[in-house]
Amino acid sequence: MHELGAKSKTVAAFAASRQRLAWLGLGLTGLVAGLFILSLGVGHAALPWGDLLAHRGQMDLSGPLMILREIRLPRAILAVLVGAGLGLSGAVLQGFLRNPLADPALIGASSTAALGAVLVFYSGLSAAWPPALPLGGLLGAGLAVVLIYALAGRDASALTLILAGVAVNSLAGAMTALALNFAPSPYAALEIVFWLLGSLANRSMEHVWLITPFVVVGCAMLASTGPALDALALGEDAARSMGVRLRRVRLMAIGGTALAVGAGVAVVGSVGFVGLMVPHLLRPFVGHRPAPCSA
């Protein structure tokens, strides 16, 4: 009877935890949706929302419709995509590396993506072919994965991965500074600096369609590591005894971060602290579990 009572309490606690997580997810989804709608109304031009929603007088509303579709809607969608990629990658890296200070910059994904975009600026390809800028950032993020595996090896420990990531991050930062010093003109250097600051301004639906597949695939790879990260909280040996394949988890964590963060940085520039702070803000609500589906 005592064992049955203990099991029933465990089942009840698990059900309550699942219900709490469901309500938390629903609340956060509603908050994001509300902020998304609110961001569409932020700007210098006031939009006639009543007429826009009723689809009346579209010929007269060509200006407001253009502002909504070409300026504010891409900005809002990119904010959601980039924020999701940064937050999820930060949660996964903190759980995988078991380091509360880990974020996408720790493995060099942000800095190498920025380096790839800067080289596109430097060569002038961005002016001749605008999609070259995000593609350059994606190639830079892919380079980070190759360099980390070349330096750390396939079966590297968490500490070795951190050291390899720091080395790649430092190398990319130095190469970016070198590109700025050898910029063909002060105007080109100024353009690069402003891009590195990060911004959602002057982005179009072309950028949205370009990065969406990479961010979605990267976030799916990161989310698949959830059960393994819960096991890794007990240590690598304990995780192996539970059947966790660390090599696969490492590939999913690093590859997913490169795709999600590299695509975002390639379009909006370097965005700091999101990947570091978002997991810490949410973990108290989920019992400090390391899994990304919880954080």
Q: Which of 89, 271, 236, 223 is nearest to 165 (CA)?
A: 89
Encoded tokens for 252: 């999913």
Q: Does the pLDDT value for residue 201 go beyond 70?
A: yes
Residues 6+ apart with CB under 8 A from 186: none
Percent of the chain at pLDDT exceeding 90: 15
Residues 164-174: pLDDT tens digits?
A: 888 999 999 89
Q: Does the pLDDT value for residue 220 go beyond 90?
A: yes
Residues 6+ apart with CB under 8 A from 292: 88, 91, 92, 95, 222, 223, 225, 226, 229
- To the nearest whole number, what is the mean pLDDT of the chain? 81
Instruction: Label residues 256-274 b or e (16+ Cβ within 10 Å = b).
Output: bbbbbbbbbbbbbbbbeeb
Please tell me which residue, 74 or 202, carries the higher pLDDT value: 74
DSSP character string of 42-53? -SSSPP-HHHHH
* Per-residue confidence (pLDDT) for residue 171, from 0 to 100: 92
* Per-residue confidence (pLDDT) for residue 77, from 0 to 100: 93
Question: Can you state the angle between helices 132-152 and 246-268, rounded to 10 degrees?
Answer: 150
Cα separation, 118 vs 187, in Å, equals: 14
* Per-residue confidence (pLDDT) for residue 59, from 0 to 100: 46
* Per-residue confidence (pLDDT) for residue 191, from 0 to 100: 78
All structural domains of the chain with their residue ranges:
71-286
Cα separation, 145 vs 140, in Å, equals: 9
In the chain, DSSP finds a helix count (H) and a strand count (E) of 14, 0
φ/ψ of residue 288, rounded to 5: 60, 30
Cα separation, 202 vs 94, in Å, equals: 33
CB atoms within 10 A of CB 66: 10
- Geometric angle at alpha carbon 16, from 12 and 17, rounded to 5°: 120
The architecture of the domain spanning 71-286 is Orthogonal Bundle (1.10)
Residues 92-151: pLDDT tens digits?
A: 999 888 888 888 888 888 889 889 888 887 777 777 777 787 788 888 888 888 888 888
Q: Which of 262, 252, 269, 264 is nearest to 93 (CA)?
A: 252
- Of 212-216, 221-225, 229-233, 288-292, minimum mean pLDDT range: 288-292
pLDDT band at 230 (very low <50, low <70, confident <90, very high): confident
Q: Which of 36, 140, 83, 111 is nearest to 279 (CA)?
A: 83
Residues 29-40: pLDDT tens digits?
A: 899 999 998 888
Residues 43-100: pLDDT tens digits?
A: 777 776 665 666 554 545 567 777 788 888 899 999 999 999 999 999 999 988 888 8
Asked whether 218 and 257 are in contact (CB, 8 A), the reply is yes
Residues 6+ apart with CB under 8 A from 242: 231
